[in-house]
Chain A
Amino acid sequence: MRKRAEDPRKPLSLPVIHILLALAEGARHGYAIKQDVEERTGGAIRLGPGTLYEAIQRLLDGGLIEEGAADDEPANGQVAQRRYYALTARGWDVLREELRRLGAILDHARANPRLRKGLV
């Protein structure tokens, strides 16, 4: 599992892509990432607390994200407890690389008329 996050040539899992996409819009704390992802996927990907922090731990280990300062100032004590996460330079690279790869797959698929018709 750890290898996958470290090695940019390996494809990322779908939840991980969505987490990185969420962080690409700015630093977020865990629950905000979860809400972002759910909203974007229309609830198709639900990140439970276990899955979410497991993925975060893996991305931290892989150096794709880092714990950082919040964009907005925390308003009360409860929020202040939270850790914020942001993409590292490496994280940006890996995400871009991954999206390029997915784009290439899509282009390839579009070139196939049978797929375009929604058959097969």
Chain B
Amino acid sequence: MRTVYALLLLLFPSGFRRKYRAELFAAFDDEMTDPRHAGASGRLRLWRYLARDLVASAARQRWSAAVSAARRLSGRGEPELPRQQRRRFMETLAQDTRYAFRQFVRRPGFAAVAVVSLALAIGGNSLIFGLLDGFVFHPFPYPQPDRFISVGVTFPKMSPETTYIEALSPAEYADVKRGTSFTHLGAFDLGNRNISGGDVPERVFTALLLDDLFPVVGMRPLLGRGFSKEELASNGPPAAIISHRLWQSRFGGDPGILSRSIRIGGQAASIVGVMPAGLVLIGTDLWIPWGGDLVQVPRNVRPFTIIGRLAPAATLASANAELSTIAAQVQQSHILEFKEYEGWRLTATPWATALLQDVRLAAYVLLGAVGLVLLIACANLTNLMLARSTTRHRELAVRLALGAARWRIARQLLTESMLMAFAGAAAGLAIAYIGLRFSDALIPAQFARLDLKAGLNMRVLGWSALLAACTGLLVAVLPALQATRTDPHESLKSDGRTGQGKAGSRVRQTLIVAEIALSVVLLLGAGLLMRSFVNLQRADLGFSPNGLLTMRLTLPQQKYGSGEAIVAFFEELSRRVQNIPGVTATSMVSQFPPLGFFSSQIEVDGMQASGSMLPTANTTIASREYFKTLQLSIVKGRAFGVEDTPEAPRRVIVNQAFVFRYLSSRDPLSTRMRMVGRGGPGQWTEIVGVVSDARNNGAGMPVRPEVFIPMEQGRDAWNQLFLIVRSDRDGTALVPSIRAAVASIDPEQPVYAIQTMEEAVALSSFQERISAMLLGIFATLALVLAAVGIYGVMSYSVSARTQEIGVRMAIGAEQTHVLRLVLMQVMKLAAIGLVVGVGLLLVAGKALSQLLFGVKPADPLTIFGVTLTLGAVALLAAWAPAWRASRVDPIVALRYE
């Protein structure tokens, strides 16, 4: 650790470093012992902070040292007044800029190649940064978003994952409220509600609140107010707050909205507030008080998401410390009743991080990838400038001989590269602007409802400007070094041809190797992501998604009060849908693959819960025809039948993963199991069948144990089921007839979340698809840039070696020999680049492997494919210069000598 710090200190001028060395180290030790910087994430924060601080202040010191050194060098001993200084600076700048423009106009091809490649590279960076800024880094409009916290929970006995959404019970919320880390806390349960009172019944995504959320999110309602204490109390007066979107779409933005009421599930509630536009809470459109009696809810019923605003005196670390104390107290008092409390943890995490934890890694990989593209563009540009500065050698030598200061020439080159970089950035921003306007098209409908917007904001502009400045600097370094090392005496004496020498060509070749290596990294990354996406697509889901259509129905409790009424409705619907031409099977289910959300703790009769985890399984209510509809096979026993009535003994069917995980060698058909739910274990139930596995935890993840409950026996727990229809034709064409079938039973019943199974499967691999696609685009861009680079360097090298080639041909070399000579040189560079690139990727492989499915970073097929592609592109790029070399007329070449 101290070594890294010592290395960072090397950035400072030596005088400063010598004087404050001990102090700086002591300060470092103090920072290390600061409790804020404990733990891995604390350490990471500390290093980020130290790096930023040290680099910035070292840069300032170096700058002022450089300024005074430059002043000494330019022989201006006596200090100028600041105003004069500034004017002279501006004059020089204007002069340099004019000169740079003239250079560009004289060689428009050079400037065009430079600006276009920078535009593509910087534009790509701005676009990706804009997308990530809008969707991942700063997705929400809340003030001080870092202090807007979500409380997550981990039950190591159940699962190693930390969950934030619908993760905690009201009793646990009360526990969290005992702490002092938060000024405001709120909790909400998510649900869907039918609203009516207009022309069409509508189903809206709803948050049911335990406390007023406006102080937590830090925003005020646009109209009206938040909920009062009375409204939030159990059985309080019905009240509702609606989203800006709902206000506009359903009420036409009526300014008198606060005097109106809304019918929610058939019950009138007065509208007390309208949320501001852009305030989104996981896409909810309606906020209502939860309204139940909290004391009735057992500790292990956990439908609530807890959010809070950090108190001014608290930090994330102090809040976490307090939460772990609370968790320990709860564990002590409740462990006997609720086993999952063993080792449980409560964690405070900024809301955006908690919501988007899965995407962040992919986001950083993309940002890194597009950064590599910019690096390649920089290397290209450096090469172009180096090549050009050798032809400008004499010009620079003359200027030096006439007494120009070396830093003045370096500054001229810097002005040129900065001008190109900013011109490229400006064009790049145009590309990014267009790209961001179309970014909505990339977002699947389920995310679009979050109302996230990506656009060119100040952060994106700032980032682009920063990149442009870095590019300008980076590109100018090597040419400036080369120019200032010029010895005017030697240069003017020679004929200008030998000016570059061996060292210069080695620099250029190294840059080419670096470009190739970076392209290889991108190509490999893109190839691997594409392969894992294809693997995901081809992954055996365990069922056939073709021809399946899914949709959701929720029967309002007021109308369908009993389980019998609910089952009767669904049975009737099933019968009518079955009669639609084309339908081959139809069934009802509470959740379906490739995802599953509902699970519970289970117990198997006569088996001790061994190991560190409590057994859990997905619990799914399914109608008789479900397995047939999905084409899952019954491996043992039987499917559900008409005999599984509510009066019959409880029966379940389990999947193969369940048998494998929890029953080992026992016969499932003679084993009983039960679910542990609200207020303790349920009845013992008989396992009557084993069904084949279907991916129920994402296409790329292992199958989770699953328990199926017959719809008739689970009827009292569910009023919300998916209708799944298999047909022999395009599923979406059936939607109108299915809607008609629903309306013929109950005209007020909405149908929603209509999706073909293929869409559902595609959505579950959305992130993989978009990562593979973007990385593919970057890799192509990188390859094009690298090809341009190879072409440029080889053209230059061939023209510089014209005499040598002429001599070779004069003494008998054939055209094919010369062709091979040049091409071999390129292939050598490509081979080195390939090896370095593969090496780099394998080093970075660990981060990447988390994003891969069914393929390892060292995938021979991908490496082989990349080798072929790269070889072909390198040959193509070098072909024209090589051909030109082979056509050198020895007489012309030698006469020049």
**Which residues of A are at the interface with B, using a C-beta cutoff of 8 A?**
1-3, 29-31, 34, 42-43, 46, 48-54, 56-57, 78, 81-83
Contact = CB atoms under 8 A, between A and B. Distances in A.
Contact of A51 (B26, B56, B64, B82): B56
Which of A31, A51, A52, A53 has the most B CB atoms < 10 Å from its CB?
A53
B54 A31 contact: no
A53 B16 contact: yes
A111 to B, nearest CB: 29
16 contacts: A3-B82, A31-B26, A31-B27, A34-B27, A48-B49, A48-B54, A48-B57, A50-B54, A50-B55, A50-B56, A51-B57, A53-B57, A54-B16, A54-B61, A57-B16, A82-B26
Interface stretch (B17-25, B198-206, B844-852): B17-25
B20 A53 contact: yes
Contacts of A51: 53, 56-57
The interface residues of chain B, by DSSP majority, are classed as helix
B28 interface: yes
B23 A53 contact: yes
Interface in B30-89: 30-31, 49-50, 52-58, 60-61, 64, 82
Contacts of B20: 53, 56-57
A50 B58 contact: yes
Nearest to B312: A42
Interface in B631-673: none
Given A30-B27, A51-B56, A57-B20, 9 more contacts: A1-B60, A3-B82, A30-B23, A30-B26, A31-B26, A34-B27, A49-B28, A50-B53, A57-B19
Contact of B24 (A29, A43, A49, A78): A49
A43 B22 CA distance: 25
A84 B217 CA distance: 45
A50 B60 CA distance: 10
Nearest to A60: B19
A78 B12 CA distance: 24
A31 B20 CA distance: 13
A118 to B, nearest CB: 15
A54 B61 CA distance: 8
A48 B53 contact: yes
Q: Is the interface of A mostly helix, strand, loop or mixed?
A: helix
Contact of A54 (B22, B30, B50, B57): B57
A4 B31 CA distance: 30
B53 A81 contact: no
A81 B58 CA distance: 23
A3 B81 CA distance: 11
B26 A81 contact: yes
A117 to B, nearest CB: 18
Among A3, A46, A48, A57, max chain B CB count under 10 A is at A48
Contacts, number: 62
Nearest to A1: B64
Contact of B23 (A3, A42, A83): A83
Nearest to B59: A50
A57 to B, nearest CB: 6
A65 to B, nearest CB: 14
A56 B19 CA distance: 12
Among B12, B27, B54, B64, find the residue whose CB has the most chain A CB atoms closer than 10 A. Answer: B27
Contacts of B22: 81-82
Contacts of A34: 27
Ranked nearest first, the 5 interchain pairs of A and B with the lowest CB-CB distance are A48-B53, A50-B57, A49-B27, A50-B54, A54-B57
A58 B53 CA distance: 17
Contacts of A46: 49
Nearest to B11: A50
Given A1-B60, A57-B16, A82-B23, A48 B28 contact: no
A81 B21 CA distance: 11
A61 B711 CA distance: 83
Contacts of B24: 49-50, 53
Contact of A31 (B30, B53, B315): B30
A59 to B, nearest CB: 13
Given A1-B64, A31-B27, A49 B50 contact: yes
A50 B31 CA distance: 13
Contacts of A2: 64
A51 B315 CA distance: 23
B53 A49 contact: yes
Contacts of A81: 22, 26
A48 B23 CA distance: 12
Nearest to B315: A43
A31 B34 CA distance: 12
Contacts of B82: 3
Contacts of B31: 49
A56 B23 CA distance: 12
A81 B20 CA distance: 11
A49 B31 CA distance: 9
Most buried by B among A34, A51, A56: A51
A64 to B, nearest CB: 17
Contacts of A78: 26
Residue with the highest number of chain A CB atoms closer than 10 Å, among B28, B50, B57, B82: B57
A27 to B, nearest CB: 15
Interface string B305-333: 00000001001000000000000000000
Contact of B60 (A42, A43, A54): A54
B26 A48 contact: no
A78 to B, nearest CB: 7
Contacts of A56: 20
A51 to B, nearest CB: 5
A83 B20 CA distance: 9
A67 to B, nearest CB: 11
Most buried by B among A42, A50, A53: A50
B757 to A, nearest CB: 52
A57 B16 CA distance: 8
Contacts of B12: 50
A17 B49 CA distance: 22
Contacts of A49: 23-24, 27-28, 31, 50, 53-54
B509 to A, nearest CB: 37
B522 to A, nearest CB: 34
